[in-house]
Amino acid sequence: MGLVLVARREDRLLALAKDLTADYGVRCDVITADLTDPAAPQAIMARVTELGLDVDILINNAGLSGSGAFADTPFVELANEIQVMMTAVTELAHLAVPGMKERGFGRIVNVSSLAALMPPAASLLYTAIKSYVLNLSQALDMELKPHGVHVTALCPGFTHSEFHDVMGTRDASNKLPAFLWQEADAVVREGWNAVDKGAPVCVPGVVNKVTAAAVKPVPLWVGYRLGKSLNPFKN
């Protein structure tokens, strides 16, 4: 049994692995991979097999968002978002599921976003991608639950992390009221409780739950107008 951490920055991964092993006595391996590379999902799973491990729990967490207008963003940047958050998420699940089905046990957590439940925001490919992740997760959960494999889409709202620095929207996001924000550990705790209960969708935090419930009955044409006026990162 053990954990396998995957991302691009090896120094961060090694430091985290060392802490996790020291704090919890758990085996922790590190795989450095860039998920914009279409070969990465196959290579990651091959390395996991080499390590002598089965994937019982897959957490598809890596994500990023551009903030520029669609027409002004080089296609390679849009393609990278699609590769990391759609193609790699789908391929990693597709590679892990056969073993999970065979063993009669599996858990997949796909980190979507509250954005997936909100009206589409102008210019953001991110909303469309996270809607795909939400839909895919529910469809997989329906197909795989009878085989002991549960799939949960975790849909956080604004969460303190490096996300908005990478996106280049730190100044705009700092102006948002504090009550809209959650700490990452609170999101993870609630997300993991949802996984334990076999919930296909988890919207963590009271504010996010109320927001998701409030926009649900909104007709599409109203959502369209809301999306145009409410996007805090519009350019």
Ligand X SMILES: NC(=O)c1ccc[n+]([C@@H]2O[C@H](COP(=O)([O-])OP(=O)(O)OC[C@H]3O[C@@H](n4cnc5c(N)ncnc54)[C@H](OP(=O)(O)O)[C@@H]3O)[C@@H](O)[C@H]2O)c1
- Residues at the site binding ligand X, with contacts judged by CB under 6 A: 7-9, 12, 33-36, 61-64, 84, 111, 113, 156, 158-159, 161-163, 166
Catalytic status, residue 216: no
Q: Can you spell out the DSSP letters for the chain?
A: --EEEEES-HHHHHHHHHHHHHHH---EEEEE--TTSTTHHHHHHHHHHHTT---SEEEE-------S-GGGS-HHHHHHHHIIIIIHHHHHHHHHHHHHHHHT-EEEEEE--GGGGSPPPTT-HHHHHHHHHHHHHHHHHHHHGGGTEEEEEE---SBSSSHHHHHT-HHHHHTS-GGG-B-HHHHHHHHHHHHHHT-SEE--SHHHHHHHHHHTT--HHHHHHHHHHH-TT--
Catalytic status, residue 126: yes
Taking the least distance from each CB to ligand X, the nearer of 98 and 232 is 232
**Closest separation between CB of residue 196 and ligand X, Å?**
20
Q: How many Å apart are CA 133 and CA 46, to the nearest integer?
A: 24
Taking the least distance from each CB to ligand X, the nearer of 20 and 64 is 64
**Closest separation between CB of residue 112 and ligand X, Å?**
7
Helices 40-50/88-103 angle, 10° precision: 30
**Closest separation between CB of residue 229 and ligand X, Å?**
20
From the list 57, 65, 71, the residue with the least C-alpha distance to 4 is: 57
**Closest separation between CB of residue 71 and ligand X, Å?**
23
Taking the least distance from each CB to ligand X, the nearer of 97 and 118 is 118
Q: Which of 130, 175, 197, 216 is catalytic?
A: 130
* Closest CB to ligand X: residue number: 63
**Closest separation between CB of residue 107 and ligand X, Å?**
17
Taking the least distance from each CB to ligand X, the nearer of 84 and 92 is 84
Taking the least distance from each CB to ligand X, the nearer of 26 and 176 is 176
Q: Which of 126, 145, 209, 228 is catalytic?
A: 126
Q: Which residues participate in catalysis according to the annotation?
A: 126, 130
